[in-house]
Structure 1
Amino acid sequence: MDFAETDEQRMLRSSVAAMASKYGHEYLWAKAKAGEKTTELWAEAGKAGFLGVGVPEEYGGGGGGMVELAIVTEEIAAAGCPLLLIVVSPAIAASVIATSGTQEQRERWLPGIADGTTKISFAITEPDAGTNSHNITTSARPDPDGGWRLSGSKYYISGVDESDATLVVARMQDSKGTLRPAMFLVPTDSPGMTYQPIEMAFIAAERQFTVFFDDVHLPDEALVGGEEAGLAALFAGLNPERITVAAQSNGLGRYALDKGAAYARERSVWGKPIGSHQAVAHPLAKAHIEVELARLATTRAAWLYDRNDPAAGEAANVAKYAAAEAASHAVDASVQVHGGNGMSAEYGIGTMIAAVRTTRIAPVSAEMILNFVAQHTLGLPRSY
C-alpha cells in the first residue's frame, strides 16, 4: 500500500490549486452576497477537465478515480471557494450513472458532467424521513401508457435551480406491485416538477430547495439501470459523496489554518507576534494535526473505493467524520486567533463557520456515523 501521489496526481493538484487561486474566497463571497452562481469557476474547472477526472475516458472524462476527484475537490476548497455541486454532480451522479446506468444513460449524461456543461442534483432527503431513508414516501408507479408517474417531495436539495436534471431516490412499484428502492433521472423542466427555496440562516452560493413531484411523467429510460438496479445504484453514490465531502472539509481546514497562521505571524501585540504565545500557537498546531490525519483517512477511503474494496464504506464514513470535525476545529481556532477580526467578512474566515458546521450534519450526521462504527465495526447492539 503506497499513498504517495504519482507525478500525474501531483501535477493535477498543482494545476487545480493554480486555477482556484485566481478566484479565491473573495470571489465566492461576492457571488453569494449577490445571489449569483459560481459560473465562471465551474466553467473553467470543467473546460480544464478537472470536473471529469473520475469519469471514464470513453465518455469524455479523465479516466481516473475517486482519488483524483478528491484532489480536485480539496484544492478548490483550499483556495477558499468550495463548490458544493462537485459533491453532487461529478461525485454522486456520475458515479451512479457510470456504475449502474444503462449504456444510453452513460452516453447521454456523462460527457456533459465531465466537461461541466451539465449539472445533476441529488434528491434523497424528505421532510418526514430525514436520516431514515426507509421512510421515503416519494414513489413511482407504472404508467399504463408507458413510462412512470413520480409523486412526492424532497427537502434540502442543493442546487436544483442550476441543474439540468435531478437524480431522485424513490420507491418504485415494479411489475409485480412490489415497492422497492429505485433512482430516476428527472429533467428539472419536467411538467409537474416544481421547487421553492429554503430560507437559510447563512449566505452560500448554492441554494437549498424543497422539491415537489406532482404526478411527473417519466419515460422508461429515466429509471437508472433498470428495475433490478435498486439499492446497488443508490449505494454507488453514497461513498463518493462522503469522500468528496471529506475532501472539501480538508480543503476548508487548510484554508482556515493558512489564514490563522498568517495572522498569528503578522499580528504584533506588546512588541512581538501573537503566534509566539503557546495559547495562540497550540490550537493552530493541534488543528493542523487533525486536518492532516483527516486527509490521510480521506486518501485511504478514496483508494479503497477505487479498488472496489468492501472496506471502502467504513473508510468513507471515518474520513467524513474526521474531516468535518477537523475543519470545524480549524476554523474555530483561526477565528479565535483573529479575535474580533475573525467575525469580519474582510478577513475571510468567519464566513466559513457555517460551511464547516454544515459538514458535521450533512450528508450524514456525526451521530449516525458513530452509530455505524459502533454497530458494524465494534459489533455493538444497534441503538436505533
Structure 2
Amino acid sequence: MTEIAFTETEERAELRRQVRKLAGTYGREWFTEKARSGEKTTDLWLEIGRNGYLGINIPEEYGGGGGGIGDIAAVCEELAAQGCPLLLMVVSPAICGTIISRYGTDAQKQRWLPGIADGTGTMAFAITEPDAGTNTHNITTTARRDGDEWVLNGRKTYISGVDEADHVLVVARAEDARTGKVKPVLFVVPTDAEGFEARPIPMEIVSPELQFQVFMDDVRLAADAVVGDEDGGLVQLFAGLNPERIMAASFSTGLARFALDRAVAYAKERTVFQGPIGSHQAVAHPLAQSHIEVEMARLMTQKAAALYDAGDDLAAGEAANMAKYAAAEAACDAADRAVQTHGGNGITQEYGMAGLLVATRAGRIAPVSREMILNFVSMHSLGLPKSY
C-alpha cells in the first residue's frame, strides 16, 4: 500500500512561495486587463518557464525539473491563487508533457519536451468532439494509413489555446489491421498543417486563453507523428487524463483561495453597522465553511498526486476524480460567497468577483463533468451497477 504524506516537503513549500511571489508581481488586475483587451499572458508564461516552474514535471535530461504531477499542480494552484490561472498549464506540461515523457520515443522527447518545459513550444490537446461529448469511446476523428503517412479527418471542440500552440496532441481512431476494431491513437499535429483549421468559440468566461473548434480535412502526417505505441490504447490516453483531473482540481482550489482571500479582506475592512461585516456570523460562517471545504479538496488533490507519482494508476484515477469533484464544488461555493460578501460591489468590474462565478463554474463541467465523476465513483468505488 502506498504511503501518503499529509504535509508537503519543505522543497514543495518553497516552490509554492516562489511561484506565489512571482505571480504576485502580475496579479489579477493585470490578468483581467489582458483578457478584456484580447491580449495574451505570454510574459507570465515565459517567465515561469525561465524560472523552471513550467516544466518542473518534465525529466531533467529534457530541460525539466524532474519533479512529479504534485509539483506542477502546486505551480498551477499558486498561480490561480494570485488571480492568474493559466489554463494551458493543465494542457501543455501536464497532459502533453506527461504523455510524451512516458510514451514518446527519445527523438520525440528531444524534439518536444524542452519547448514544453521552457514555454516556447506550447502544445494543445484535442480529444472532445461535438457529438461525443464526455463519451470518449464515441469519437469519430479517424486516422488511416496511406503508405508511410497517416491521414486525419474529423473535428474537435472546446480545444484550449490553439492560437498559442504550435502543435496539438490529437486523439483519433485508427483501425487495427489484425482485428478490424478501432483503437485510440495519439498524434502530434502542427497547427499550420494543410487541412487544419481552428475557429474561436465566443465564451462568457473572462480569460486570455480562448476555446476553439478544430477541423481536420485530410491532414497528412509522417509516421513519427504517432506518440507511443499505436496499439497502446486507453492506457496511454489516461496517462494524461489523470494528471488533467489533478491539475483541474488545483486550478479550482487556487481560484477558490483567491476568491476567499478577497472576501476575507473585504469583510475585515467593510463597516456597515457596528464593526466590520466579518464580525457577523452571517458573513463569517459561510467564509469559514469555504475555507474548510477548500482545505479538504486540497488534501484530496495532494493524495491523488502522490498516488499518481508513486505509479499507482488505479488508485490515482479514483482519487483524481474525487479531488476534481471536491475542488470544483468548493470553488463554486467560495466564488458565490465571495460575491455575496461584497454585496453590490461583488458584481462590479472594479472588484473583480463576478467573473469568478463563470470561471469556477467551468470546473463542474470540464475536463469531466461532475455527473460522470459520480457515475465513476458509484460504479468503481461503491460497486453499484453501471448507470450509463
Normalised to the residue count of structure 2, the TM-score between the two structures is 0.97
- The answer to whether the 8 Å contact 2:206/2:359 transfers is no
**Corresponding residue of 1:350:** 354
**1:291 aligns with one of 290, 294, 307:** 294
Aligned residue pairs, count: 383
- The answer to whether the 8 Å contact 1:36/1:205 transfers is yes
Task: Report the alpha carbon displacement of residue 275 of structure 1 after superposing the two structures with TM.
Answer: 0.6
Task: Report the alpha carbon displacement of residue 175 of structure 1 after superposing the two structures with TM.
Answer: 3.8
**Corresponding residue of 2:184:** 181
Q: Distance in 1 between matches of 2:297 and 2:339?
A: 20
Q: Aligned runs of 1:262-281 on 2, under 5 Å?
A: 262-281=265-284
**Corresponding residue of 1:208:** 211
Task: Report the alpha carbon displacement of residue 203 of structure 1 after superposing the two structures with TM.
Answer: 2.6
Q: Aligned runs of 1:365-384 on 2, under 5 Å?
A: 365-384=369-388
**Corresponding residue of 2:258:** 255
* Residue 63 (1) aligns with residue 63 (2): no
Q: Percent identity?
A: 61
- Write out per-residue CA displacement over residues 158-204 of structure 1, whole angstroms, 9 at most, x where no aligned residue: 10011010010110124445421111000111111001011112331
- The answer to whether the 8 Å contact 1:141/1:174 transfers is no
**Corresponding residue of 1:330:** 334
Q: Distance in 1 between matches of 2:35 and 2:271?
A: 33
Q: Aligned runs of 1:124-143 on 2, under 5 Å?
A: 124-143=127-146
**Corresponding residue of 1:307:** 310
Task: Report the alpha carbon displacement of residue 59 of structure 1 after superposing the two structures with TM.
Answer: 0.6
Q: Aligned runs of 1:8-157 on 2, under 5 Å?
A: 8-144=11-147, 146-157=148-159
Q: Distance in 1 between matches of 2:174 and 2:187?
A: 10
- Write out per-residue CA displacement over residues 262-314 of structure 1, whole angstroms, 9 at most, x where no aligned residue: 10000001231111110010000000000000000000000000001120000
Q: Distance in 2 between matches of 1:381 and 1:178?
A: 27
SS at match of 2:202: coil
- The answer to whether the 8 Å contact 2:127/2:170 transfers is yes
Q: Distance in 2 between matches of 1:2 and 1:211?
A: 42
Q: Distance in 2 between matches of 1:381 and 1:174?
A: 31
- The answer to whether the 8 Å contact 1:321/1:366 transfers is yes
Task: Report the alpha carbon displacement of residue 8 of structure 1 after superposing the two structures with TM.
Answer: 1.3
Task: Report the alpha carbon displacement of residue 6 of structure 1 after superposing the two structures with TM.
Answer: 1.6
- Write out per-residue CA displacement over residues 8-46 of structure 1, whole angstroms, 9 at most, x where no aligned residue: 111111000000001111111001101111111101010
SS at match of 1:212: strand
Task: Report the alpha carbon displacement of residue 100 of structure 1 after superposing the two structures with TM.
Answer: 1.4
SS at match of 1:346: coil
Q: Distance in 2 between matches of 1:294 and 1:347?
A: 26
Q: Which amino acid aligns with 2:323?
A: A
Q: Which amino acid aligns with 1:5?
A: E
Q: Distance in 1 between matches of 2:315 and 2:276?
A: 46
Structure 1, unpaired ranges of 5+: none
Task: Report the alpha carbon displacement of residue 227 of structure 1 after superposing the two structures with TM.
Answer: 1.9
Q: Which amino acid aligns with 1:272?
A: G
Q: Distance in 2 between matches of 1:34 and 1:203?
A: 10
SS at match of 1:269: coil
- The answer to whether the 8 Å contact 1:95/1:236 transfers is yes
Structure 2, unpaired ranges of 5+: none
Q: Which amino acid aligns with 1:170?
A: A
Aligned-pair RMSD on alpha carbons? Answer: 0.9
SS at match of 1:141: strand
Q: Distance in 1 between matches of 2:286 and 2:229?
A: 52
- The answer to whether the 8 Å contact 2:183/2:231 transfers is no
Q: Distance in 2 between matches of 1:187 and 1:170?
A: 15
Task: Report the alpha carbon displacement of residue 368 of structure 1 after superposing the two structures with TM.
Answer: 0.4
Q: Distance in 1 between matches of 2:230 and 2:373?
A: 30
SS at match of 1:200: coil
Q: Distance in 1 between matches of 2:308 and 2:229?
A: 24
SS at match of 1:359: helix
